[in-house]
Amino acid sequence: MSAEQPRNPLHGITLERVVNELEAHYGWEELGHLVNIRCFQENPSVSSSLKFLRRTPWAREKVESLYLFMLREKARAARGV
């Protein structure tokens, strides 16, 4: 069985990396505004966020979607558009 996912931009990227990059880019306060979940708003940490996101598919989808948006915005900025 092939595990290749050539069109999945999240393939090979860990959830921990996603959370760390989002936090570095937006900061916890802005991240809490963009994704309205308590683990980003009250005493935020990577470990508490990972625990919640692994158990809550709808929240994980929102975080992954924001991550993809951030990557697109960074790519646009790099191209100077």
- DSSP output for 43-78: S--HHHHHHHHHH-HHHHHHHHHHHHHHHHHHHHHH
Give the tokens for residue 5: 């996912």
User: Cα(35)–Cα(9) distance, rounded to whole angstroms?
Assistant: 20
- Looking at residue 1, what is its pLDDT? 43
User: Does residue 31 lie within any of the structural domains?
Assistant: yes
Within a domain: 2: no
Q: How many domains does the chain have?
A: 1
Please give the residue range of the domain that contains residue 32: 15-79
CATH code for position 28: 1.10.720.30
In a domain, 26, yes or no: yes
Residue 56 in domain? yes
Give domain status of residue 4, yes or no.
no
Q: Looking at the domain assignment, is residue 58 inside a domain?
A: yes
Residue 10 lies inside a defined structural domain of this protein: no
- pLDDT tens sequence for the chain (81 residues): 456 666 888 888 999 999 999 999 999 999 999 999 999 999 999 999 999 999 999 999 999 999 999 999 999 999 886
Do the domain assignments include residue 67?
yes
- What per-residue confidence (pLDDT) applies to 25? 95
